[in-house]
Amino acid sequence: MAILQIRTYPDEVLKKRACEIENIDGAIARLAKDMLETMYEAPGIGLAAPQVGESIRLIVFDVSHKEEKPEPHILVNPVITATEGEEVMEEGCLSVPGIYAKVKRPAKVEVKGYDLDGNEVVMQAEGLLARVILHEVDHLDGYVFLDRLSRVRRQMALKKYLKSVKS
Ligand code: NI
C-alpha cells in the first residue's frame, strides 16, 4: 500500500467530471486501498479518486470514531438515488486545507454503487455518513464544498484560502 499525494484546489482534476469505471480490476482495488490509507493518514473521513489525481468514479470513506473499530467503505460508480430533508453542517476538505464552512445539504441519502467484487451495494445514510457521501460524490462531478456556498460566502472562503496557499 502507498500514501498518495492529495491534489489541492484549484487543481484542474478537481473541476472535471470523473469517468465511470468499466472494469473493477486489480488496479482499481489497489487504488481504493491506497486511497483508504491516504485518507486515514491525512487524517480525513472521506476521499474521492480525483483528489489523488485519478479522474474516475471511486470514493472511500469511514466515519467511525477513532476509539472504534474502523469501518472502511469503498464505492465504485456511486449514484445518489434518493435524498430527504435538509441539514446544515460544517465541512472541510483535504483538497481545500484549512478552510471550513457550514454547508446545507440533504439530511438523508440513498446511494447505489458497486463494491470491489462487482456486487451492487445500496446504502441508506443520515447524519455525518450522508454528509460525507454527498461531499465525495460531488468531487466526482467536479465540485468542491465551496461550490455549495452562496456566492458571497464562496468568494470570502476562496479569498481566505488562496491567501493561505500563497503565504
Ligand atoms: Ni473533499
What are the sequence ranges of the domains in the chain? 12-166
DSSP codes, 33-102? HHHHHHHHHTT-SEEEGGGGT--BSEEEE----TTSPP--EEEEEEEEEEEE--EEEEE--TTSTT--EE
Residue 51 has pLDDT above 80, yes or no: yes
* Cα 8 to averaged position of ligand 1 atoms, centre (Å): 10
Residue 44 has pLDDT above 90, yes or no: yes
Confidence of residue 37 (pLDDT cuts 50, 70, 90): very high
Does residue 110 carry a catalytic annotation? no
**CA 62, CA 46: separation in Å to the nearest integer?**
6
Q: CA of 130: how far to CAs of 58, 62, 121, in Å?
A: 16, 11, 15
**CA 133, CA 48: separation in Å to the nearest integer?**
10
* Cα 146 to averaged position of ligand 1 atoms, centre (Å): 10
Ligand 1 ion: Cβ-proximal residues, 5 Å cutoff:
93
The domain made up of 12-166 is a member of CATH 3.40.50.620: no
Q: Which of 13-22, 37-46, 62-71 has the lowest mean pLDDT?
A: 62-71
* Cα 111 to averaged position of ligand 1 atoms, centre (Å): 17
Confidence of residue 66 (pLDDT cuts 50, 70, 90): confident
Residue 65's pLDDT is 86
Q: What pTM did the predictor assign? A: 0.96
Mean pLDDT of the chain: 97
What value, to the nearest 5°, has the Cα angle with vertex 41 and ends 36 and 47? 40
* Cα 23 to averaged position of ligand 1 atoms, centre (Å): 25
Confidence of residue 67 (pLDDT cuts 50, 70, 90): confident
Residue 142's pLDDT is 98
Q: Count of CB atoms within 10 A of residue 144's CB?
A: 24
95-145 pLDDT, tens digit per residue, is 999 999 999 999 999 999 999 999 999 999 999 999 999 999 999 999 999
**CA 150, CA 153: separation in Å to the nearest integer?**
5
Q: Which of 145, 45, 7 is nearest to 88 (CA)?
A: 145
Residue 72's pLDDT is 97
